[in-house]
A and B are shown apart, each in its own frame.
Chain A
Amino acid sequence: MTSKGQTAEPTARADERLIKVGLLTRAMRRPELGAVAGLVLVAIFFFAFANHEMFTLSGAMTILAPASQLGILAVAAALLMIGGEFDLSIGSMVAFTGLVFGASVTNFAMPLWLAILATMLVAGVMGSINGQIVIRSRLPSFIVTLAFLFILRGLTLVGLKAVTGGSTQLRGVGDAVPDGVLRNLFSGLAFEGVFSWLASQNLIEKFDNGLPKVAGVPVSVVWFVAFAALATWVLLRSRVGNWIFAVGGDPNAARNSGVPVDRVKTGLFVVTACAAALVAIITVLDAGSADARRGFQKEFEAIIAAVIGGCLLTGGYGSAIGAFFGAIIFGMVSIGLSYTSFDSDWFQVFLGTMLLVAVLFNNYIRRKVTGER
């Protein structure tokens, strides 16, 4: 090996034991590489086997709508996992905060802004309780939040029956919330004007009456993209992002360097809970009801999406943009199978395989990147 390629560094001398870092290795250093590669593979698979309806604009929206709700949870789960913790209670948190929100607007007749505030506040408190128990007891977050998975699901059932007088579904939320700018932030479609303009210019498919076949983007997709972008910026550019990687990588070293480890972890639990509350508000407004089964098993799906996105189960490594792609893969596979002639129950097989491959791949990459031996 020669010193070629290091001429920019006059003081640098070539180390004969170091293989020159190629573009591929540098790409492999990005934790989201696996998710991008996975997405390409999955897309190729469906391109070959699925009805091409799937690859139209309306097909894309059909995939993105569920992917975005999962994705909001997955990005939050990814942040928390990078910070070295799990939250298994997010699925139940979706149901529980859905109840809080639903009861706020119907039973307590709160205005929408107050109901949203109250829901976020409850989520924040629950998140910090999770965090404080984990930090103070030094128990694995896996077990603490597993307890809350059941506690919150149970509370939702009990609470729903209490406010409805025996039902596990709280209806009438849609009617209780008046139309308005604030409601449109959390339900319905965004960019409808853009889509009808595109249709009028014959740039997208439209019905015979001139209306576009796809009237807009579900707001959850907008939230999903915005949240993933913000999380990515925070992780890679902000000080807090540096601290998140640090507390997940080695809490002791982080603490010795002056990083407020406990505050960072608590903050991450709060963010995760609030992400669940956001999904709850969106789903409750969309469906018009709060339901005890909402968010069932979403905690596992979110963690799977985060892992497919390159997060290590041991913390300290991963990416929000990876979780973004992970969630899209998830949506693509779960919805996409109905566009093929395959039995859609293959979904779970596919998912498990994908998870296993992702974990193996991540571990391999981690060893490569860090030179761990």
Chain B
Amino acid sequence: MTDAASPVTTPVIDVRNIAKHYGSVIALSGISLTLNRGEVHCLLGDNGAGKSTLIKLLSGVVRPTTGDFLVDGEPKSFSSPRDALDAGIATVYQDLAMIPLMSVTRNFFMGREPLKGFPPFRYIDLEHCNAVTREEMAKIGIDVRDPNQAVGTLSGGERQCVAIARAVYFGAKVLILDEPTSALGVHQTSMVLKYVHQVRQKGLGVIFITHNVRHAYAVGDRFTVLNRGKTLGTQTKAGIAMDELQNLMAGGKELQQLADELGGTV
């Protein structure tokens, strides 16, 4: 349990003892975690562990009941997703990121359309948008044949990558990825993981939420396991092996038992 990754710089996100109660239900009871630049911090946990509540707190969808939340060392309190976006925290949701009936370009610039002309007849600079979209997609190796094609025609992995590329292009310093690989096949998953790695190299901090230890271990630098609204501690990659992580997350015993019954590892 160490924070030795970069002790000198201030973490880009510093969550201190944050808690969220929904009436009498305690969704999170005092979570602390930090995220550094150029780091992929994986949040692991089974269903109901509090992962999504934590994301909602970080992305400004809900407010914490107690606890502090620092961005670049400054305490913040978001009242809407827009506030979080403005602070450079972009969240990419598993299936709520894109509008399938709209074109790649229109999705890419959604909410931040560059305008030309004079009011009230200001119009979207679609040529510029198309060019940027094509270029940004080419950078991550997605060949958008026609930026005017509907996002619905892209594969799940491509959609995730477009959503991530959009966040990066608009200057996010922190990316929160909510189960980006859970609905994807093997090839698509590797595409997304590869891109997450690229994003890290650019110096962004990434919070990667998943319940797939394999995917987490492939790109993660540090791992925090959540269980029933609490953290079971943060580990560095050097400090924990994959099967230990798996056991920690799934409550060990159960899986061991299952592995014995099935005569192999799970």
CB distance from A250 to the nearest CB of B (A): 5
Q: Is A147 an interface residue (CB 8 A)?
A: no
The segment from B29-37, B92-100, B181-189, B206-214 found at the interface with A is B92-100
Selected contact of A250 from candidates B81, B99, B134, CB within 8 Å: B99
B111-A258 in contact (CB<8A)? yes
Give the chain A neighbours of B96 by CB distance below 8 A: 250, 252-253, 256
Q: Is B241 an interface residue (CB 8 A)?
A: no
Give the chain A neighbours of B91 by CB distance below 8 A: 256
B99-A253 in contact (CB<8A)? yes
The segment from B144-152, B192-200, B223-231 found at the interface with A is B144-152
Q: Is B5 an interface residue (CB 8 A)?
A: no
Q: Is B112 an interface residue (CB 8 A)?
A: yes
Q: Is B143 an interface residue (CB 8 A)?
A: yes
Say whether, besides A6-B145, A238-B124, A366 and B85 are in contact (CB < 8 Å). Answer: no
Give the chain A neighbours of B153 by CB distance below 8 A: 369-371
A249, B109: Cα distance in complex, Å: 15
A249-B126 in contact (CB<8A)? no
Which range contains the number of A residues in contact with the other chain?
20 to 34
A249-B97 in contact (CB<8A)? no
A56, B134: Cα distance in complex, Å: 49
Name the residue of chain A whose CB is nearest to the CB of B134.
A9
A245-B111 in contact (CB<8A)? no
Give the chain B neighbours of A259 by CB distance below 8 A: 110-111
Give the chain A neighbours of B81 by CB distance below 8 A: 255-256, 258
B146-A316 in contact (CB<8A)? no
Q: Which of B89-145 contact A (CB under 8 A)?
A: 91, 93, 96-102, 106, 109-113, 115, 122-124, 126, 134, 138, 143, 145
Name the residue of chain B whose CB is nearest to the CB of A372.
B152
Say whether, besides A371-B150, A371-B152, A371-B153, A239 and B97 are in contact (CB < 8 Å). Answer: no
Name the residue of chain B whose CB is nearest to the CB of A238.
B123
Give the chain B neighbours of A237 by CB distance below 8 A: 123-124, 126
Q: Mark A201-239, 1 if CB is under 8 A from B, else 0.
A: 000000000000000000000000000000001000111
B124-A253 in contact (CB<8A)? no
Say whether, besides A239-B124, A256-B93, A245 and B102 are in contact (CB < 8 Å). Answer: yes
A249-B122 in contact (CB<8A)? no
The segment from A12-20, A327-335, A336-344 found at the interface with B is A12-20
A220, B109: Cα distance in complex, Å: 37
A11, B124: Cα distance in complex, Å: 26
Chain B count of residues within 8 A CB distance of the other chain: 32
Q: Mark A252-273, 1 if CB is under 8 A from B, else 0.
A: 1111111100000000000000
A230, B123: Cα distance in complex, Å: 12
Give the chain A neighbours of B151 by CB distance below 8 A: 370
Give the chain A neighbours of B99 by CB distance below 8 A: 245-246, 249-250, 253-254, 316
CB distance from A309 to the nearest CB of B (A): 16
Name the residue of chain B whose CB is nearest to the CB of A234.
B123
Selected contact of A316 from candidates B101, B109, B113, CB within 8 Å: B101
CB distance from B122 to the nearest CB of A (A): 7
Give the chain A neighbours of B97 by CB distance below 8 A: 253, 256
Give the chain B neighbours of A233 by CB distance below 8 A: 123
Give the chain B neighbours of A325 by CB distance below 8 A: none
CB distance from B113 to the nearest CB of A (A): 5
Selected contact of A370 from candidates B100, B111, B113, B123, CB within 8 Å: B100
Name the residue of chain B whose CB is nearest to the CB of A10.
B138
Q: Is A24 an interface residue (CB 8 A)?
A: no
A239-B146 in contact (CB<8A)? no
Q: Is A21 an interface residue (CB 8 A)?
A: yes
Name the residue of chain A whose CB is nearest to the CB of B123.
A237
Give the chain B neighbours of A324 by CB distance below 8 A: none
A239-B110 in contact (CB<8A)? no
Give the chain A neighbours of B150 by CB distance below 8 A: 369-371
B110-A11 in contact (CB<8A)? no
Give the chain B neighbours of A18 by CB distance below 8 A: 145
Name the residue of chain A whose CB is nearest to the CB of B82.
A258
Q: Is A101 an interface residue (CB 8 A)?
A: no
Q: Is A86 an interface residue (CB 8 A)?
A: no
Give the chain B neighbours of A246 by CB distance below 8 A: 99, 102, 106, 110
CB distance from B65 to the nearest CB of A (A): 23
A249-B100 in contact (CB<8A)? yes
Q: Is A242 an interface residue (CB 8 A)?
A: yes
Q: Which of B62-104 contact A (CB under 8 A)?
A: 81-82, 85, 91, 93, 96-102
Q: Which of B142-174 contact A (CB under 8 A)?
A: 143, 145-146, 150-153
A366, B152: Cα distance in complex, Å: 10
Selected contact of B100 from candidates A9, A239, A250, A255, CB within 8 Å: A250
Sort A-B residue pairs by CB-CB distance and give the 5 closest, nearest first. A370-B152, A258-B111, A249-B99, A371-B153, A257-B111
B residues engaging A (CB < 8 A)?
81-82, 85, 91, 93, 96-102, 106, 109-113, 115, 122-124, 126, 134, 138, 143, 145-146, 150-153
> Can you name 21 A-B residue pairings with CB atoms under 8 Å?
A6-B145, A11-B138, A233-B123, A237-B124, A238-B122, A239-B113, A242-B124, A245-B99, A245-B102, A249-B102, A250-B96, A252-B96, A253-B98, A255-B81, A256-B96, A258-B111, A369-B101, A370-B100, A370-B101, A370-B151, A372-B152
A237-B123, A242-B102 known; 19 other A-B pairs, CB under 8 Å?
A9-B143, A12-B143, A21-B145, A233-B123, A239-B122, A242-B106, A246-B106, A250-B99, A252-B96, A253-B93, A256-B81, A256-B97, A257-B111, A258-B81, A259-B110, A259-B111, A317-B101, A370-B150, A371-B153
